[in-house]
């Protein structure tokens, strides 16, 4: 095999490998929905639901059922009922990247969960601000 043929074969193998890796990545990557802006978190450690997340717009029920949720970020407003310093520990726990099973709420713009992260504070809180939450569709 000549040098030119070997180079062409090497290039074809490299391109085929890139195509296979790209196809695998697209097929294995979970689908994510980013919900509208998260505006409020109500935390009640004494009674379920422990956490209620309220959004600026309605949450499509079809995106909630059977999916998991992940709180990506939340910035506490200075005028929040629970001051930023007091809410910092809870927000840090909730944004650690631990997915949870959300429940659709009778309110069209809220989700709830009965899952508390380990180390959650014992004090109820209402925190307002701005944040991002994703709903992640499991791969079949």
**Each residue's pLDDT expressed in tens, for the chain with a length of 140 residues:** 677 888 888 888 888 788 777 666 655 556 666 777 999 999 999 988 999 999 999 887 777 777 888 899 999 999 999 999 999 999 999 999 888 888 877 678 899 998 888 889 999 999 999 999 988 877 65
Structurally, the chain folds into a number of domains equal to: 1
Instruction: Please answer whether residues 65 and 77 qualify as being in contact, where contact means their C-beta atoms are separated by less than 8 angstroms.
Output: no
Instruction: Please answer whether residues 76 and 12 qualify as being in contact, where contact means their C-beta atoms are separated by less than 8 angstroms.
Output: no
Evaluate whether residue 49 is within a structural domain.
yes
Phi first, then psi: give them for residue 52, nearest 5 degrees: -125, 125
Evaluate whether residue 97 is within a structural domain.
yes
Evaluate whether residue 6 is within a structural domain.
no
Domain of residue 36, residue span: 31-137
pTM value?
A: 0.76
Evaluate whether residue 119 is within a structural domain.
yes
Evaluate whether residue 4 is within a structural domain.
no
Q: State the residue for tokens 């391109």.
A: 15
Distance CA 43, CA 124 (A): 5
Evaluate whether residue 9 is within a structural domain.
no
Evaluate whether residue 61 is within a structural domain.
yes
Phi first, then psi: give them for residue 26, nearest 5 degrees: -65, -35
Scanning 29-82, the segments in alpha helix (DSSP H) are none
- For residue 89, the SS3 value is helix
């Amino acid at each position: 095999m000549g040098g030119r043929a070997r180079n062409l074969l090497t290039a074809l193998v490299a391109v085929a490998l890139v195509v296979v890796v790209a196809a695998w990545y697209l097929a294995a990557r979970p689908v994510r929905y980013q919900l509208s802006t998260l505006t409020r978190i109500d935390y009640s450690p004494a009674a379920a639901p422990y956490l209620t997340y309220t959004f600026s717009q309605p949450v499509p029920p079809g995106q909630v059922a059977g999916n998991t949720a992940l709180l990506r970020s939340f910035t506490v407003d200075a005028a929040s009922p629970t001051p930023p310093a007091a809410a910092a520990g809870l927000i840090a726990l909730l944004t650690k990247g631990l997915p949870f099973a959300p429940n659709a709420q009778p309110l069209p713009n809220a989700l709830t969960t009965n899952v508390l992260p380990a180390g959650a504070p014992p004090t109820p809180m209402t925190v307002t601000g701005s944040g991002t939450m994703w709903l992640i569709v499991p791969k079949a």
